[in-house]
Structure 1
Amino acid sequence: MRTVKVTSIIDPGKSYEYIDDGNPKQGGVKDVYFAPDKKYVVAFFRAPLDFNQKDRIKRIVTLYLDNIKKGNAADYFLQDIYRWPYDAVERDGKTGVIVPIYDTRFFFSKGYGANNSIKGGEKVGKWFTAPSFRNNQYPLSLDKSELGDWLSYFQIAISICRGVKKMHQMGLAHSDLSYNNVLVDPVTKSANIIDLDGLVVPGLFPPEVIGTADFIAPEVLKTKHLNISDPGRILPNQRTDLHALAVLIYMYLLRRHPLRGGKIWDLDAEKDELMAMGEKALFVEHPTDPTNRVRTDQLRKWDAFWGNPDKIPYTITGPYLSDLFRRAFIDGLHNPMLRPIANEWETALLKTVDLVQPCSNPACDEKSYIFDNTTKPVCPFCGTPHKGTLPVIDLYYKFKNDVWKPEGHRLMVYHNQYLFKWHVSRKIIRNESLAPEDKKPVGYFSFYQDKWVLVNQGLDGMKDLTEQKDIPRNAMVELGNGKRILLSNEEGGRLLYATIANQ
């Protein structure tokens, strides 16, 4: 074992050390060595890079890193969303990148329930996208303490969307977005996009790979037989990233693949795979074409619940996400221009989180579900009906003078549910650039003395329009059926309209 020192090829005044014990951690194309203080790794490409590949690396660790540092929410992206390489080195003709070490939360503390064989291993996303790993009957099931609940995966998906959105805003494409290149921690609801040294710059740096099976867009597989210089050949780009992003979100929330159904296209396994994911790709939940429906008799016992769309259809994700899944896997599956962009997924996920209703069964593994707009909602995971009345809040915005129009944004109320500034005003956008003071709740809902009430914690100008009464700070107002409350009288302020369901 020896300590090796290497010098930056960007700034010769900077140097880095790593421990070489002759047994580096091996990735797909890189050998990874740890710094003595474990604050970074030095990842060397096993094969020598050509001029273009080196130029790509240099730009990633300088120009594109600087773009993030100078942009909004730089710390958020560089600490919470990416493990972005920040320098490049060379040794013995091989190029290496300096990458910050993964946060400790992205390593398993227990791993498998049975034998802990992946304890200390990286929490790559694939562990959390299949039902088998969370089923106690399965020999390789993960320890329950590492799995989180259903809501954890909404926040994970939001983080991934923000990471993809930022890359695309900078003109980059990931090119190999998959559950192997995203680390997740359901306990802290975190996600980190890794392997960022192969980013695609359209027209400048072509992709090095076509992607990872399960996440390669149909048009890429359909044309992969063509020569790389053929104008008809489709290579990974931002639109193919959007296919991979939709697949990731579907798999995190529904724990199955949107295109792996029961249809066998060819008896040759390789040809069948090429057709099923490429030219003949078909959504397993297509509303009018049942060709690729999941064959429930082929499901393993530990996949029988989540793997069966009849039991857990994609529509349990609520109206906003269901619409995007249809656009991604029906309209946009073979027409890349129709795929939802990352920002649309982020907005839909955030609006869907406002539709969450806690499950009243304390033993429910998933803990909450999305309100399905029925009068008597039932948890789709454990079958427990909702207990008690259910206030539903619809938000309205001022169209002109005294004309209010629905915002298309609904807030489900439960005991101790918070009201935030992004509910109160159209001017506050809930994204990564949200100021700390805008993240604080300004009110909360409570079930108090057998009545649903809204308590004003921090809003001036709140008014009960039904009773024509002001609601000062620290005062409460009862939420009756048809109650109208002006949340703010400033420009962009919204009106709240309450409906009481499940009566």
Structure 2
Amino acid sequence: MANTVTLTAADGSTVQFIDEIKASGGMKDVYFSPNRDYVVAFFRGSADAATRERLSVITTVYRDRIFNQIGGDYWKNLFCWPTAMVEHNGRLGVVVPFYAPEFFFKHGSRNNDMLAIKGREKEGKWFASPSNRNKFIDQRELGNWMLQIKLCLQIARAVRRMHSAGLAHSDLSYRNVLIDPSTGRACLIDIDGLVVPGKYPPDVVGTPDFIAPECVATAHLKRDDPQRKLPSIATDRHALAVLVYMYLLLRHPLRGDKVHDLNDPQRDEELSMGERALFVEHPTDASNRIKLANVKPAELPWKDTAKMPFGIVGPYLGELFTKAFIDGLHNPSLRPSADDWETALVKTVDLLQPCPNTACEQGWYVFDNKAKPRCPFCGTAFSGPLPVLNLYSSQREGSFRPDNHRLMVYSGQSLFQWHTNRNIVPNEKITEAQKKRVGYFVLHQGAWFLVNEGMPDLMELPAKTPVPVGGKVALEDGKQLLMSREPGGRLVVVQMANQ
């Protein structure tokens, strides 16, 4: 039986751990606390002053800045943030909360857990490959496409919060993000390597597949060379775009079949991920397309970019993929911010439509505003009229402008205050009262209705006919509904698609 070690952390708290290595990463050894409510991770090698200072600031100043502000409790679920710094036998370590239960595999892999993953943590890499998902991962762990979008939203939100505090993760990848597709939850880990620009430089260059092209292209230079590009907020933005693309499309945006050096595989890799990196779906340069002849059956249909183009993610995310992998791939200043991804993901959730095919593996798809909408995953067409709500908001009394935001209707779909008022944003600052549903949609005898549960101002225009709370209003093509008269209040114009 291993000994239990008791220490006093830098903040004065008592820390205990069982003196037995339970996990090892590239830089740290991990030990469990007796109650398994936290772990202690010790860095290998002797402690240096710079590392000590960085860990001290991450566990105090920056922790306080994120968790002790308005909405601070929200972040406890999205970050596995170190709580204290410790030192033992000349080694520095951090105390980190134990991962939440949903971030461990509940079910073994298929074929009698041939991968022995039951009980292991759900690193995102397990879920980013179509062959893993198709051949190994238990169906109950996979969730659906709506939940994939929601976990991407949580990742974007966590990165946005980190960047707004002036911090870069430096190694954002599917190894350092835990995800649970069955609940749509995500959590950023390995926070102890955070980069404070201009103060604490990065310990690592990053994880292959997620390192920004400018870092790959200058990796041969010495660390202190002014031309060398090191991890930063700009390189995090590249990694975030890759993560969202991989989780939604199950392929890498740069790993096509273009060969840059036939004789030197290492040089070929450096060029394809670095100075000559090229989007596999580039609209005018098809030289890096994924060739179907090289694709395994278990990777289909995801690696078939003609059948599953990135356009299936909808207009908001599609625009950001263009900015990230065409405009900003070699120009970091043009990359979308985490805030851009968060906004686009929220708006994309509002475009989702349930697939009518109950056997469809993805269950949801983004409505593409075509005359005949159909699920891109299983090919099932939608039948019957389909209301789409186009949202407008007032900058001043009586004047409404389009918000470039639409809400798809389906039976049971909910309406919330962030739909009725553009000044309410569904993020960590939202109040409990603002989370309450204010209406829902129902299909009754072939007609669509909006049932008013909490909109005292709801009225039909131009006649200004009130729709009382508890009442309902039919959704017909061209109908205008004023949902709120407060500043930022929205007007809805109904469009009937698939007539």
Give the TM-score range, shorter chain. Answer: over 0.9
Tell me if 1:329 matches 2:325.
yes
Residue 453 of structure 2: which of 437, 454, 457 is its match?
457
Range moving further from structure 2, 193-202 or 107-116: 107-116
The DSSP-based 3-state class of the residue aligned with 1:197 is helix
Residue 492 of structure 2: which of 493, 496, 502 is its match?
496
Aligned to 1:100: 97
Residue 81 of structure 2: which of 45, 60, 84 is its match?
84
Q: C-alpha offsets along residues 45-78 of structure 1, whole Å, 9 cap, x if unaligned?
A: 1112211011101111111111112222111102
Q: 1:2 and 1:211 mapped to 2: Cα distance?
A: 34
Aligned to 2:126: 127
Range moving further from structure 2, 151-160 or 391-400: 391-400
TM-superposed CA distance for 1:308, in Å, is: 1.2
TM-superposed CA distance for 1:401, in Å, is: 3.8
Q: Is the 8 A contact 2:103 2:179 kept in 1?
A: yes
TM-superposed CA distance for 1:9, in Å, is: 4.4
Residue 236 of structure 1: which of 231, 237, 240 is its match?
231
Q: Is the 8 A contact 1:263 1:292 kept in 2?
A: yes
Q: Is the 8 A contact 2:5 2:18 kept in 1?
A: no
Q: C-alpha offsets along residues 271-329 of structure 1, whole Å, 9 cap, x if unaligned?
A: 11111100100000000011101111000110121011111100000000000000000
Q: Is the 8 A contact 2:279 2:325 kept in 1?
A: yes
AA partner of residue 93 (structure 2): G
AA partner of residue 100 (structure 1): P
**TM-score, normalization by structure 2:** 0.98
Aligned to 1:14: 13
Q: Which runs of no fewer than 5 residues in structure 1 stay unpaired?
A: none
**TM-score, normalization by structure 1:** 0.97
Residue 280 of structure 2: which of 270, 280, 284 is its match?
284
Q: Is the 8 A contact 2:5 2:19 kept in 1?
A: no
Tell me if 1:186 matches 2:181.
yes
TM-superposed CA distance for 1:385, in Å, is: 0.3
- RMSD of aligned residue pairs (Cα, Å): 1.1
AA partner of residue 151 (structure 1): M
Q: 1:306 and 1:110 mapped to 2: Cα distance?
A: 24
AA partner of residue 25 (structure 1): A
Aligned to 2:339: 343
AA partner of residue 14 (structure 1): S
The DSSP-based 3-state class of the residue aligned with 1:183 is strand
Mapping of residues 98-497 of structure 1, within 5 Å: 98-116=95-113, 117-135=116-134, 138=135, 141-267=136-262, 268-497=264-493
Q: Is the 8 A contact 1:184 1:190 kept in 2?
A: yes
Q: 1:432 and 1:487 mapped to 2: Cα distance?
A: 24
The DSSP-based 3-state class of the residue aligned with 2:226 is coil
Q: Is the 8 A contact 1:284 1:292 kept in 2?
A: yes
Q: Is the 8 A contact 1:296 1:304 kept in 2?
A: no
Q: Which runs of no fewer than 5 residues in structure 2 stay unpaired?
A: none
Q: 2:257 and 2:485 mapped to 1: Cα distance?
A: 56
The DSSP-based 3-state class of the residue aligned with 1:221 is helix
AA partner of residue 7 (structure 2): T
Range moving further from structure 2, 464-473 or 340-349: 464-473
Q: Is the 8 A contact 1:207 1:235 kept in 2?
A: yes
Residue 71 of structure 2: which of 73, 76, 79 is its match?
73
The DSSP-based 3-state class of the residue aligned with 1:316 is helix
TM-superposed CA distance for 1:467, in Å, is: 4.2
Q: Is the 8 A contact 1:8 1:88 kept in 2?
A: no
Q: Is the 8 A contact 1:6 1:90 kept in 2?
A: no
Q: 1:244 and 1:338 mapped to 2: Cα distance?
A: 14
The DSSP-based 3-state class of the residue aligned with 1:369 is strand
Q: C-alpha offsets along residues 103-141 of structure 1, whole Å, 9 cap, x if unaligned?
A: 110000113111221110110000111111221xx3xx1
Aligned to 1:42: 40
AA partner of residue 52 (structure 1): A
TM-superposed CA distance for 1:431, in Å, is: 1.2
Aligned to 1:57: 55
AA partner of residue 28 (structure 1): G
TM-superposed CA distance for 1:6, in Å, is: 3.6
Q: 2:32 and 2:68 mapped to 1: Cα distance?
A: 29
Q: Is the 8 A contact 1:6 1:91 kept in 2?
A: no
The DSSP-based 3-state class of the residue aligned with 2:493 is strand
Q: Is the 8 A contact 1:479 1:498 kept in 2?
A: yes
Q: Is the 8 A contact 2:389 2:408 kept in 1?
A: yes
Quick one: percent identity of the two aligned structures? 51
The DSSP-based 3-state class of the residue aligned with 1:327 is helix
The DSSP-based 3-state class of the residue aligned with 2:228 is coil
Q: Is the 8 A contact 1:393 1:497 kept in 2?
A: yes
Q: C-alpha offsets along residues 162-205 of structure 1, whole Å, 9 cap, x if unaligned?
A: 11111111111000000000000011110010001010011111
